[in-house]
Structure 1
């Protein structure tokens, strides 16, 4: 039976030290919120000394010490260790000088010559005691029931603060892991995109060599087959690019840079229309502000919206895109309007879903990932994106971004 009890004591000792390590509180500097509690405890109980004590393996550390100018003592001088070993919710000794356990204690026989001790064990959520909130006097004192209850209530506040501290450390740790994960994912996305596109470019180059070398030998059917191969290689390349954009949209992009929307959008439109010299297109920009956001994130968004506005057009139509901006006290609001084929009302709720396509590849090529990436990026910027449209009457996307990131 004795061995069982010793083992239980050892287990509690290990758990107590583990809890103290999780709180990361030992040897920390004084903090006002803990000092406020000891000040209040001393005032309520009319006591000259109040302590928040954490019992380590070889010492007791005073996180807050009201009325006494020491921050730790050896475990041999600890009355608090007896309090937490008692298993009781409240521990008091009205005269330490008459108690055989404490009469030779150096804090009793020497300065500050303590006499009465009243302590409430501090317990973790797992009901493991690891310290105390106590008040100490230099003369005999009796506490009223009301004072005892007040001391126990204050002890709960100490535990609450320590648990909150632990959760904040955990949150910081999770945040660091998420940031590292985001960096790793970004590196993976770029490497994957490069490694996937490289063989596609090689295939495309060799196909062109074969075509130029043997075009005189091919009949119309051969040329048609090669056209299908070229088309699918280009589609695969575009899918890789879209997957890369989708990977980027899950990353946290710094949103604290100045972004001139007029310059950004003009550059995107020019690059996209130069790539397709056969298509006629017009861009109108109205009152676009300089905003504080993420340049790379907004580049991905407007690349997708402008590309869609240029692509989803009736045959022979001149694409007209109008992008306007306005601001409220708390938001920037940007609208992207086009004169394209529009979207049927029944299909509007689905357009932001991944791989959701409303047209066949033969009608309009694409992966169905662009608007998914746009929505996720805008949400990461604490904003919203919405759409209104009518079939054959064009589409309007509305982006709302907060002026200050939360």
Structure 2
């Protein structure tokens, strides 16, 4: 049984990654407090493996380890008791010839509380030592037990931090793989679509005079579906980008960014030319790719969700407070029914069929993910047939 405990203890100490580490103030504070509470010149936080004991904190002595054969703390662990108290080491046949008993610092009194992990594995002690006989009060003993629990808490927290860091690195690796996959997939999917689109145009120009109305209608359906597929691939790529780690330190002129996006989205409008009203938008330090995804999707939606024959009008403004930028995009579109406001940021949730308004249902989901990655928020207010207002914040 003891051999099994040794294996478990060694494995636990490896998880703590604590052996042979430099002194740390939080552990030194605990030994200083233990010595003060108990009026002893020496206090130790000791970790015990198969071959030696390592003093993570040593108040009152300069050594930081001894061989396991000289470990009084090992006896504390083996005792399976709540503590081990030895009032006079000089007359205890286990320790009467101990180097620190017969030599400097000539220790006499020992009181040790075992350090026990959350899984019930004893792996060390918090101990106080004196060079003369003494007796601790129950208050002092209970205080040491409480401090021992704090040592275990710190070490368990240390282990969890290592596990979290390893998990974070693993997630980063997966995220990078998924980013690369998304870009490659988008590129490889769009290439054949562009080819199909080109050949469709060739067929249209070559055979337009010989096709009847039914042929032209079929051709139109094919052409629309190819374009829809291309848009879906682009939306999927945007959604993949929403999970990317963004560079938040770019200097972004949001007025220029919004103007360029609006021009790109409206260059093919020949009638009912959309109108853009801009307030004084700021230059901020953030992620340019993230802001591009946000404004691209919100402005594209404001242009798309319009009733027939109406001139789209989009207002983009910004306010600020001490902590954040507050952007607002307001449109004069068809609006959103109150019952649907709660679901519009969910991926693949669409409020209209493809014959009314084409789309993938990913745009607003991508916006929300990107804004959350910037530690911002987004909300919407809207009325049916009376436009929508999207408000999102970006921390300064």
Distance 2:357 2:137 in 1: 83
Aligned residue runs from structure 1 range 344-363, under 5 A: 344-363=337-356
Q: What is the deviation of 1:353?
A: 2.6
1:36 and 2:26 equivalent?
no
Bigger shift: 122-131 or 152-161? 152-161
Alpha-carbon shift at residue 165 of structure 1 (Å): 1.4
SS in 2 for 1:108: helix
Contact (CA 8 Å) 1:341, 1:393: kept in 2 or not? Answer: yes
2:196 corresponding residue in structure 1: 203
User: What SS does structure 2 have at the residue aligned with 1:350?
Assistant: coil
TM-score (norm 2): 0.95
Q: 1:174-189, aligned counterparts within 5 Å?
A: 174-189=167-182
Moved more, 131-140 or 225-234: 131-140
Contact 1:338 1:394 in 2 (8 A): yes
- Whether 1:329 and 2:322 are equivalent positions in the alignment is yes
Q: Distance in 1 between matches of 2:339 and 2:9?
A: 61
2:240 aligns to what? 247
- 1:153 matched residue in structure 2: 146
C-alpha deviation, 1:278, in angstroms = 5.0
1:212 equivalent to 2:202? Answer no
Q: Is the 8 A contact 1:257 1:293 kept in 2?
A: yes
Distance apart, 1:45 and its partner CA: 1.5
User: How far apart are 1:72 and its partner, in Å?
Assistant: 0.7
Q: Which residue of 1 aligns with 2:89?
A: 96
Larger CA deviation: 80-89 vs 357-366: 357-366
2:126 to 130, 133, 136: 133
- Please say which of residues 72-81 and 202-211 is displaced more in the overlay: 202-211
Whether contact under 8 Å (2:6, 2:49) holds in the other structure is no
Q: 1:347 Cα deviation (Å)?
A: 3.0
For structure 2, list consecutive stretches of 5 or more residues without a partner in the other structure. none
Q: Pairwise CA RMSD of aligned residues?
A: 1.7
Q: 1:124: Cα distance to partner? A: 0.3
The alpha-carbon deviation at position 276 of structure 1 amounts to 4.1
Q: Which residue of 2 aligns with 1:238?
A: 231
With 332-341 and 233-242 compared, the bigger mean Cα shift is at 332-341
Is this contact kept in 1: 2:250–2:287, CA < 8 A?
yes
CA distance in 1, matches of 2:140, 2:164: 36
Q: TM-score, normalised by structure 1?
A: 0.93
Number of residue pairs matched? 396
Please tell me whether the aligned partners of residues 60 and 73 of structure 1 are also in contact (alpha carbons under 8 angstroms): yes
What is the rounded CA distance, in whole Å, between the counterparts of 1:136 and 1:201 in structure 2? 80
**Alignment partners' CA distance in 2, 1:258 and 1:221:** 54
Aligned partner (choices 18, 28, 35) of residue 25 of structure 1: 18
**Cα offset, 1:213, TM superposition:** 3.3
Q: Deviations over 1:91-120 (max 9, x none)?
A: 011111211111122222222222221111
Asked whether the 8 Å contact 1:122–1:159 carries over to 2, the reply is yes
User: Which among 38, 59, 78 is matched to residue 52 of structure 2?
Assistant: 59
Match of 1:297 among 286, 290, 307: 290
Q: 1:348 to 1:40 in 2, by over 3 A?
A: closer
